[in-house]
Amino acid sequence: MSIHDDRRGTREAGQERIHQGIVPSYLLSRLAESGRYPQAAEAARQTLIGPLPAEHRAQLRLSIDENGTLVAEVDAAPNRTISDAHTTETLPGTVVRREDDPPVADMSVNQAYDGLGATFQMLLDAFQRNSIDGKGSPLDATVHYGSGYDNAFWNGERMVFGDGDGQVFQGFTGATSVIGHELGHGVIQATAGLAYQDQPGALNESCADVFGALTEQHLNNQTVDRATWLIGAGIFTHSVHGKALRSMLHPGTAYDDPELGKDPQPADLSGYVKTTEDNGGVHINSGIPNRAFALFAVALGGYAWETAGSVWYRTLSSGLSSTASFAEFAHATITEADKVDAATGEAARTAWASVGVIPAASVTGAGDARTGTAR
């Protein structure tokens, strides 16, 4: 495989796993050639070429009903385990904090623990989903992976966090959107199973960004107009001219740095990047459906996880093809939006038309977008 391939697999327990990292290979490749950041350049090169590496916990509540009968109810609760790789590339590492353990001295451990909990709570509150598989699966993470490792990734079973190189990237545990994004890959894996290539892969990345943004917004109780819509805010050091890895509302504006270049994400289908790298541009082209979701959520107002997020989540759970194109996914979300009410359906059509995935003519205002006839 090319060193630019984000879809690196390793053999763990006899099975090949796909590693879906938050930092795209095109950005690491640019950083690897940096003269301004020699330490970061070496870390990026090592990140690019290096190897990657109790089902249900719940709370029991007992009560007595009006007939004097004992009633037992089970509340879903997270089951978190954080391990430390001690700057090696050996997983899972040494367990350093389990569920209900108090905070430890290591900030990365505590941030990972809190981020896993925030994602669990968003999934439960917004979608009544008990953990990433819907069945209360444990949430496992490893911190301090590798030496100067410039990424965080989901390997099919756990979250893995590098500490960054210290010049361009700093620790990845501090960004809730990163943790929500990576665990979002687990939800996608358990629902639609979108293939990690070309347009399905870009949808995979985009839906993971949606989960990341929703997790951050839910944690901070932010309405759509107060949200930043940034993915990975805080993982760049102050040396970098940039706010985050990606902007969902304004793709292509997250960073513009003399060494890293300008954020290459297109904001609509006219800028779609055809490439053999990055698994067919999964990180680059995710900006197109990202903007569609953000526009949809902003048009609806309120909290994004309540209606917009629910439409996207139901789409993933609706029998969507694992090889869905942008257009197929768009029409599937419109179908789910129509089930809410006419205004929600119209907002979905407008959002997808705004990014060029469906024809603008299909947004009729007073007409039916599927037939063009009056309602």
Say which of 19, 89, 144, 182 is annotated catalytic.
182
Compute the distance between CA of residue 134 and CA of residue 132 in angstroms, rounded to an integer: 6
Please tell me which residue, 39 or 296, carries the higher pLDDT value: 296
The pair phi, psi for residue 306, each rounded to 5°, is -75, -50
Q: How many domains does the chain have?
A: 1
What confidence score (pLDDT) does residue 286 get?
Answer: 97
pLDDT tier for residue 3 given thresholds of 50, 70 and 90: very low
pLDDT at 371 > cutoff 70: no
Mean pLDDT of 114-139: 94
Q: Are 76 and 61 in contact (CB under 8 A)?
A: no
Say which of 144, 181, 283, 331 is annotated catalytic.
283
pLDDT at 113 > cutoff 80: yes
Omega within 30 of 0 (cis) for the link into 92: yes
Mind listing the pLDDT tens digit for each residue in 308-352?
999 999 999 999 999 999 999 999 999 999 999 999 999 999 999
Q: Judge whether 182 lies within some domain.
A: yes
Q: Judge whether 141 lies within some domain.
A: yes
Q: Which two tokens stand for residue 66?
A: 């009006």
Query: Going by DSSP bridges, is the β-strand pair 159-161/139-143 parallel, antiparallel, or unpaired?
Result: parallel
What confidence score (pLDDT) does residue 49 get?
Answer: 54
Q: Judge whether 322 lies within some domain.
A: yes
Mind listing the pLDDT tens digit for each residue in 147-160?
989 999 988 889 99
pLDDT at 275 > cutoff 60: yes
In three-state form (DSSP H/G/I as H, E/B as E, the rest C), the secondary structure along 287-350 is HHHHHHHHHHHHHHCCCCCCCHHHHHHHHHCCCCCCCCCHHHHHHHHHHHHHCCCHHHHHHHHH
Domain that holds residue 124: 9-362
- Told to judge if 283 belongs to the known catalytic residues of this protein, a careful annotator would answer yes
Give the CA radius of gyration of the chain: 21
Compute the distance between CA of residue 242 and CA of residue 235 in angstroms, rounded to an integer: 10
What confidence score (pLDDT) does residue 29 get?
Answer: 72
What confidence score (pLDDT) does residue 364 get?
Answer: 61
What confidence score (pLDDT) does residue 8 get?
Answer: 38
DSSP letter string, 188-251: HHHTT---SSHHHHHHHHHHHHHHHHHHHHHHHT--TTT---EESTT-B-TTSSBS-SEESSST
Angle between helices 326-338 and 308-316 (to 10 degrees): 120
Q: Which amino acid is at 339?
A: K
Mind listing the pLDDT tens digit for each residue in 64-109?
667 766 554 556 789 999 999 999 999 999 999 999 999 999 999 9
Compute the distance between CA of residue 143 and CA of residue 86 in angstroms, rounded to an integer: 8
Mind listing the pLDDT tens digit for each residue in 221-265?
999 999 999 999 999 999 999 999 999 999 999 999 999 999 999
* 218-249 per-residue burial string, b: 16 or more CB within 10 A, e: under 16: bbeebebeebbbbbbbbbbeeebebbbbbbbb
- Read off the CATH number of the domain in which 139 is found: 1.10.390.10
pLDDT at 165 > cutoff 70: yes
Whole-number Cα distances in Å, 279 to 20, 203, 220, 273? 11, 12, 33, 12
Q: Judge whether 374 lies within some domain.
A: no
Mind listing the pLDDT tens digit for each residue in 350-366?
999 999 999 987 666 43
What confidence score (pLDDT) does residue 360 get?
Answer: 85
Q: Are 170 and 235 in contact (CB under 8 A)?
A: yes
